Structure 1
Amino acid sequence: MPSMENEGSDVSRAEEIKNQANEAFKAHRYGQAIDLYTQAIELNSQNAVYWANRSLAHTKLEEYGSAIQDATKAIEVDPKYSKGYYRRGAAYLAMGKFKEALKDFQQVKRICPNDPDATKKLKECEKAVMKLKFEEAISVPESERRSVADSIDYRTIKVEPQYLGSKIEGDVVTLDFVKKMMDDFKNQKCLHKRYAFQIVLQMREMLQALPSLVDINVPDGSLLTVCGDVHGQFYDLINIFELNGLPSEENPYLFNGDFVDRGSFSVEVILTLFAFKCMCPSAIYLARGNHESKSMNKIYGFEGEVRSKLSETFVELFAEVFCYLPLAHVINQKVFVVHGGLFSVDGVKLSDIRAIDRFCEPPEEGLMCELLWSDPQPYPGRGPSKRGVGLSFGADVTRRFLQDNNLDLVVRSHEVKDEGYEIEHDGKLITVFSAPNYCDQMGNKGAFIRFEAPDLKPNIVTFSAVPHPDVKPMAYANNFLRMFQ
């Protein structure tokens, strides 16, 4: 039996470590904070505060599955600890699970009936659930749904004489147009709806014709640049083009999903990427990320931003076009590029990915879900996802997938990294993330990878964030979520 003295010293040591963890948290070093809270928990697992604090740090890293587990543990340790319910409610909310969040906020209100903050959050959550129920009630079944594109004829939209922004002459998107549009965006000017419709509708047709897995051929001596998440950080996207050249047939890019949400210049990012694709289809390849989906866009700002800068019709149109984005790419039959990661079963072949019917919102399980949501883990085998969707997979899973498909390397995105990238799984897996100082607070670098054929050795370039106009990340996000920022 441990002596009383030992127990006492463990408790006070745990408290010291918790204070260090709190300092790391305040400095936005969330990974370090999690490690320290873990040490505190190992010394004293009966303190609900440690679990709730670690839950919040997981939330900051978008590890909502782990956040929910820790908050649940805090509640088990102390069923009257309101912050346990509060943290769990916030994590459910971030996953779009409004009904589960509502139950937790009702519990917070029961424990703290006079807390004005709890009252306000509960009201907002009730509104969100009511809205959801209403939308479910009026929604048209998938089988009866008509494409919103059928109701749009952009040619009939008049361009007012006072509009001085960029214009598409006729049907062809030119480099001059794209450059002028990007300049206008830099100066926070909008693109006329007529031309925005023209670009997105042209994009829809182009993407619809592509397979779910796209093969990219890079000729010997030529380059392909792979970028990770951009997340609405338009000014950092412009910086990538300044560092590495504009997309063209000779300088092609692959953007690996999560173009939108969180950053408040998502409309500018998506129209720029789409316009380059319209200008020259082989200049830019685009993959779907987990944020190219209705449920994420509703919460993390893209839907609100589109409403504000364009119109309600565009909300529907983008949702539809996002369903047409390919799910993965293979470069020269050697490098597999996907937004999230690998699978819950062995033996998945490239032909299985090609065969996925991707024209839908991402399901909550199966190959498509795992491609968009999974993450690597440092130990072998498979584990539950820290996000609560998809799974974690080890180096052995990566190795088998590469062997089964005669590939050399997996490149994925989906996770913020301090240096903008991370090489894992014995050098067989690289994460690349291209949104520096993510959400204006993570302090990370961004990165992109240049692959030159024939050897396709990854040449990683890192870069820092550049200034942007004073519009905060999540400025257009769901009201309710903004309360937790």
Structure 2
Amino acid sequence: MATNEEITGPISQEDIEAADKLKNEANEYFKKQSYNNAIELYSKAIEKNPKNAVYFANRSIANLRLENFGYALSDASKAIELDRAYTKAYYRRAAAYMSLGKYKLALKDFEFVTKVRPNDQDAKMKYTECNKIVKKIAFEKAISVDKKEVNIADSINLDAMTIEDEYVGPALEDGKVTLKFVTELMEFYKQQKKLHKKYAYKILIDVKAYLQKQPSLVDIKVADEAKFTVCGDIHGQYYDLMNIFKLNGLPSETNPYLFNGDFVDRGSFSVECIFTLFSFKLLFPDHFYMSRGNHETLDMNRMYGFRGEVSSKYTSQMADLFTEVYNWLPLAHCINSRVMVMHGGLFSKDDVTLDDIRKVDRNKQPPEDGIMCELLWSDPQPMMGRAPSKRGVGCQFGPDVTNTFLQRNGLDYVIRSHEVKNDGYEVAHDGKCITVFSAPNYCDTMGNLGAFITMNGKDLKPNFTTYEAVPHPDVKPMAYANSFFNMLCQ
């Protein structure tokens, strides 16, 4: 970015004062969790005075809150460039690095602060905590290499798990999910009770076995007069998931659903959400579909709460098993060969076909580029062409990219999720790219509506139902998130 002198010479006192006023207004929006408005005003402050590191650091934390990790990283780096001694900017950049799974780079920032401020106890503590995470991850990787051939699902001994007499919750029948089981499970969860670990493990093992047989792109057939529902991110908001079923009916063979990724993380009822969804998957395998999202990944689960929640409610071994299961979730679905549904978006290249997606080897953590990464991470933009991702992963794609992809593959439009929208949905790219987001008042702070899409098989015209958040027990979002990461993002 060019400095102000290169454009207009020295910054006037009037611009300095105006910038500071804009920054103060932005801070008020930030306190109200109105992050987009805050970013807009921080940006205006930067236009007036591009030499103030605080404005960039403040915009960085607002972008972090919106999961715009790429922008957050860029802003924090600019703040450091402007003021090498600005500790907060290093912390912001470290949080952005950690969000992107780049823990060693985060550690370097903490290390730098401890060197320039050797008596700063807070810096020393942050360096120590980050170092623990880096060492723990290195240890986990070493173990996974040693145990490369170990399949967690195969190593679980269900017969050794006894159902205690005092357990009065839902039970599988002959080891199978039934409608009675899932109905009782949903009520049980509303009372904040826990499914027995034997049944929980059995569900995971059975879901994995089913998903392993599925292609990376699943074709869905919907009859002309049949209804089909697509839901976006749920993010551990169990009571809002129950509200979707109240508004739209329970999943069944005559009421099929597709949940489009990000079932977990952020919200603190992720375990309840995922076991309910997996139960419906086993009950109606050909009428209930689930796509992988960017939060069905190890790095996200480690930072944003799911791994901590599973370890707290069950065991770290079960958290590892979830990682194994998530690796087999399909990456995309295609409805009646006309509507493509994926969590994130389209690609950095124009030549991607549906067959290319079908051939993706998905049994892994997503790479940092390529088809799998972009299906989980990319976002649309209003401008033509492509741009680097605001998230630091995937790409941003314009209406021309969407049109080219649709024409190449004989499709009508795409549905994706991945982004909070005030109305719960957004229709972009001349109606060809639709975003649906199903977690209302995301993280108890965003104030957005949730939405889901219904259509019939004949015309596949999207109809939108929106709804507000419903009350939930007093467990805050991110309650199980990495405490050190939470502290950095304050």
Q: TM-score range by the shorter chain?
A: over 0.9
Aligned partner of 1:18 among 23, 39, 48: 23
Give the aligned residue type for 1:289. Answer: G
Aligned CA distance change for structure 1 residues 391 and 6 (closer, same or farther; 3 Å): closer
Matches within 5 A, 1:281-360: 281-360=285-364
Query: Could you give the per-residue CA deviations for residues 188-234 of structure 1, whole angstroms, max 9, x where no partner exists?
Result: 11111111122111111111111110111110111111011111111
Q: Work out the CA distance in 2 between the residues paired with 1:34 and 1:83.
A: 18
Aligned partner of 1:108 among 95, 110, 113: 113
Q: Give the aligned partner of residue 62 of structure 1.
A: 67
Q: Give the aligned partner of residue 47 of structure 1.
A: 52
Q: Work out the CA distance in 2 between the residues paired with 1:290 and 1:173.
A: 27
Q: Work out the CA distance in 2 between the residues paired with 1:3 and 1:214.
A: 56
Q: Does 1:279 align with 2:283?
A: yes
Q: Work out the CA distance in 2 between the residues paired with 1:368 and 1:301.
A: 23
Contact kept, 8 Å, 2:11 with 2:49, in 1: the verdict is: no
The CA deviation at 1:113 is 4.2
Give the aligned residue type for 1:80. Answer: A
Contact kept, 8 Å, 2:418 with 2:437, in 1: the verdict is: yes
Q: Does 1:117 align with 2:122?
A: yes
Query: Could you say what secondary structure the match of 1:330 adopts?
Result: strand
Q: Work out the CA distance in 2 between the residues paired with 1:462 and 1:237.
A: 13
Aligned CA distance change for structure 1 residues 141 and 359 (closer, same or farther; 3 Å): farther
Q: Work out the CA distance in 1 between the residues paired with 2:441 and 2:426.
A: 16
The CA deviation at 1:475 is 1.4
Q: Work out the CA distance in 1 between the residues paired with 2:389 and 2:158.
A: 43
Q: Does 1:74 align with 2:101?
A: no
Q: Give the aligned partner of residue 172 of structure 1.
A: 176
Contact kept, 8 Å, 1:290 with 1:373, in 2: the verdict is: yes
Q: Give the aligned partner of residue 128 of structure 1.
A: 133
Q: Give the aligned partner of residue 444 of structure 2.
A: 440
Q: Does 1:97 align with 2:102?
A: yes
Contact kept, 8 Å, 2:234 with 2:439, in 1: the verdict is: yes
Q: Work out the CA distance in 2 between the residues paired with 1:87 and 1:3.
A: 30
Q: Does 1:85 align with 2:90?
A: yes
Query: Could you say what secondary structure the match of 1:139 adopts?
Result: helix
The CA deviation at 1:469 is 1.1
Aligned partner of 1:470 among 446, 468, 474: 474
Q: Work out the CA distance in 2 between the residues paired with 1:101 and 1:19.
A: 29
Query: Could you give the per-residue CA deviations for residues 58-88 of structure 1, whole angstroms, max 9, x where no partner exists?
Result: 1110001111101111111122222221211
Aligned CA distance change for structure 1 residues 429 and 123 (closer, same or farther; 3 Å): same
Q: Give the aligned partner of residue 31 of structure 1.
A: 36
Give the aligned residue type for 2:417. Answer: S
Query: Could you say what secondary structure the match of 1:448 adopts?
Result: strand
What is the RMSD of the two structures over their aligned residues, measured on CA atoms?
A: 1.7
Q: Work out the CA distance in 2 between the residues paired with 1:164 and 1:153.
A: 22
Query: Could you give the per-residue CA deviations for residues 399-437 of structure 1, whole angstroms, max 9, x where no partner exists?
Result: 100111111111001111111111111111111111111
Q: Work out the CA distance in 1 between the residues paired with 2:9 and 2:322.
A: 63
Query: Could you say what secondary structure the match of 1:475 adopts?
Result: coil
Q: TM-score, normalised by structure 2?
A: 0.95
Aligned CA distance change for structure 1 residues 312 and 49 (closer, same or farther; 3 Å): closer
Q: Work out the CA distance in 2 between the residues paired with 1:373 and 1:421.
A: 17
Give the aligned residue type for 1:479. Answer: S
Say how many residue pairs are matched: 484
Aligned CA distance change for structure 1 residues 4 and 92 (closer, same or farther; 3 Å): closer
Q: Work out the CA distance in 1 between the residues paired with 2:397 and 2:462.
A: 22
Q: Give the aligned partner of residue 380 of structure 2.
A: 376
Q: Work out the CA distance in 2 between the residues paired with 1:161 and 1:333.
A: 51
Give the aligned residue type for 1:107. Answer: F
Q: Work out the CA distance in 1 between the residues paired with 2:168 and 2:466.
A: 36
Q: Give the aligned partner of residue 274 of structure 2.
A: 270
Query: Could you give the per-residue CA deviations for residues 248-284 of structure 1, whole angstroms, max 9, x where no partner exists?
Result: 0101110000111111111111100000111111231
Q: Work out the CA distance in 2 between the residues paired with 1:237 and 1:199.
A: 19
Query: Could you say what secondary structure the match of 1:269 adopts?
Result: helix
Q: Give the aligned partner of residue 422 of structure 1.
A: 426
Q: Work out the CA distance in 2 between the residues paired with 1:3 and 1:405.
A: 49
The CA deviation at 1:8 is 2.2
Aligned CA distance change for structure 1 residues 271 and 114 (closer, same or farther; 3 Å): same
Aligned partner of 1:212 among 206, 216, 221: 216
Contact kept, 8 Å, 1:259 with 1:270, in 2: the verdict is: yes
Does 9-18 or 315-324 show the bigger shift? 9-18
Contact kept, 8 Å, 1:276 with 1:283, in 2: the verdict is: no
Q: TM-score, normalised by structure 1?
A: 0.96
Percent identity, aligned pairs only, is 59
The CA deviation at 1:95 is 1.9
Query: Could you give the per-residue CA deviations for residues 118-172 of structure 1, whole angstroms, max 9, x where no partner exists?
Result: 3332221121122122223333268x42211111242442111111000112033
The CA deviation at 1:50 is 1.0
The CA deviation at 1:90 is 1.5
